[in-house]
Amino acid sequence: MRIAITRGVSPRIERCELTHLERETINVNLANEQHNQYEECLTELGCEVRSLPAEPDLPDSVFVEDTAIVVEELAVITRPGAESRRPEVSGIAEVLGEYRRLVYIVEPGTIDGGDVLVLDHDVYIGQSGRTNEEGVRQVRAMLTPLGYTVIGLPVKACLHLKSAVGRVAPDTLLINRQWVNSTVFGGMKFIDVDPAEPGAAGALLIRDTVIYPARFERTRERLDRAGIKNVVVNLSELAKAEAGVTCSSIVFEK
């Protein structure tokens, strides 16, 4: 059984942190509708969705992915790079504690879960504006004794590593090679995003199906041609807050 932890959309999401986008008006009612459809998609793909109530005072709190890194043996509770987001972790830690032993990133380390791509026992961590070298070092110290290899790598021109690369099959990554160096990913195969859609690499693989943003039609055609099974979700309102399809859930085996 796969668990998917989600959280409702904060009514103050318009005050979210932004790095690469200009601030736009976010329709909160529509954002809620789209988020509900996202949760329904997770359920249809076999996940048990643990939907937590919205946090009105935490604008970014719907983006639960950034608060934790979950592997089979434990859950790493992060210390997000944006100070305003650090109060988000306590509620997620309380829930994750039902399923995993918890360990914590501590000051001066910072890390966002959106910078972490787990490919079996290889853990890639983007060193971005939100994740620093000390955060990577702490994760390496936690996971190496468990048999994981932790690789830090730079990302550029995007918020998180998962903005630049996403897993779409056990041996295949969807990637924007302008934002991340593909050579670090060993023997993986690659599908390049369409040049007109530089932000299209974010994808959420659930078993054999990819949840994918509806707005990236050209790159989705590339997935189709490669035989990658996918379902689309419209997250246009959350995208105004620099969100992709991985941001709003933490998915792991029970």
Q: Domain limits of the chain?
A: 2-253
Question: Residue 65: pLDDT band by 50, 70, 90 thresholds?
Answer: very high
* Residue 223: per-residue pLDDT: 98
* Helix (DSSP H) and strand (DSSP E) numbers for the chain: 6, 15
- Please state which CATH number belongs to domain 2-253: 3.75.10.10
> Which residue from 203, 205, 207, 212 is spatially nearest to 176, judged by alpha carbons?
203
Active site residue 247: yes
Tell me the average pLDDT across 66-74: 98
Tell me the average pLDDT across 26-47: 98
Active site residue 160: yes
Q: What are phi and psi of 17, to 5 degrees?
A: -70, 135
Q: Who contacts 41 (Cβ-Cβ below 8 Å, separation ≥6)?
A: 211, 231, 233
Burial 24-42 (b: 16+ CB within 10 A, else e): eebebeebbebbeebbebb
Token pair for 169: 């099959």
Which listed residue (35, 41, 47, 160) is catalytic?
Answer: 160
Which listed residue (16, 41, 158, 247) is catalytic?
Answer: 247
Question: Residue 245: pLDDT band by 50, 70, 90 thresholds?
Answer: very high
Q: Rounded distance, CA 204 to CA 243, Å?
A: 12
* Residue 30: per-residue pLDDT: 98
* Residue 35: per-residue pLDDT: 98
* Residue 100: per-residue pLDDT: 98
Q: Rounded distance, CA 24 to CA 81, Å?
A: 22
Tell me the average pLDDT across 164-175: 98
Question: Residue 207: pLDDT band by 50, 70, 90 thresholds?
Answer: very high
